[in-house]
């Protein structure tokens, strides 16, 4: 078994620059934990490019959740889709063909989640009965396809408020925190559990 993370982790934090950021490692952890809490396994991680800092942090969260649940991901459970629908569709098609027992998938962004759903449909796999899907990015489209896709949603109103407040403070010469964390929530929809009813609390 191979529990290593096949992504180059790059830390972009600069103490001299004020930033508003989401804790993407926590996002990856919560998305994965939602699936593992339902005894789904194996759970695969669909990331973008292997040099991507975003995929590295989401993947680190995925790995952390697996380890906390006593699961050890193998190398084949990490697949890449270049953040695009068609490459993701091809990658998930290969995954489900070669590893048909794969039970769930965490996708790094919405286009790749859509590609995963398409691949499952092409192979006659039902969502979520045969393959559950959680997306680490929420966009309006995910609520209108069927099944609607469970996703992590950022609080965009809070983002706007914090951005304006931070900029105002900087322009006034006031000291501001180097990084402020942006709240998020896991919105549970049909793609991860039957009869989904609403958001789950997150830490």
**What burial class does residue 130 get, using C-beta atoms within 10 Å of its C-beta: 0-12 exposed, 13-18 middle, 19+ buried?**
middle
Give the model's pLDDT for residue 181: 64
Q: pTM of the prediction? A: 0.79
Give the model's pLDDT for residue 22: 78
Q: What is the mean pLDDT of residues 157-182?
A: 54
Give the model's pLDDT for residue 157: 47
Query: With bands split at pLDDT 50, 70 and 90, how would you rate the model's confidence at 159?
Result: very low
Question: What percent of the chain clears pLDDT 70, i.e. is strictly above it?
Answer: 71
- Using the structure block, give the residue that is written with the tokens 């973008």: 48
- Contact indicator for 8, 54 with CB cutoff of 8 Å: no
| Separation of alpha carbons 161 and 193, rounded Å | 33
| Separation of alpha carbons 52 and 29, rounded Å | 17
Give the model's pLDDT for residue 49: 87
């Amino acid at each position: 078994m191979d529990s290593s993370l096949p992504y180059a982790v790059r830390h972009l934090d600069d103490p001299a620059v004020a930033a508003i950021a989401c804790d993407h490692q926590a996002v990856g952890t919560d998305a994965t934990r939602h699936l593992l809490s339902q005894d789904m396994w194996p759970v695969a991680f669909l990331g973008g490019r292997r040099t991507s800092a975003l995929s590295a942090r989401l993947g680190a969260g995925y790995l952390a959740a697996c380890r906390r649940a006593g699961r050890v991901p193998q190398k084949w459970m990490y697949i890449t889709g270049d953040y695009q629908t068609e490459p993701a569709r091809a990658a998930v098609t290969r995954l489900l063909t070669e590893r048909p027992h794969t039970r769930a998938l965490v996708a790094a962004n919405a286009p790749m989640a859509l590609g995963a759903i398409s691949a499952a449909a092409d192979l006659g796999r039902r969502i979520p009965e045969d393959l559950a899907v959680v997306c680490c990015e929420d966009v309006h489209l995910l609520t209108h396809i069927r099944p609607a896709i469970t996703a992590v949603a950022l609080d965009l109103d809070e983002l706007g408020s914090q951005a304006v407040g931070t900029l105002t403070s900087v322009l006034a010469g006031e000291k501001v925190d180097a990084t402020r964390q942006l709240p998020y929530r896991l919105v549970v929809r049909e793609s991860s559990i039957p009869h989904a009813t609403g958001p789950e609390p997150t830490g």
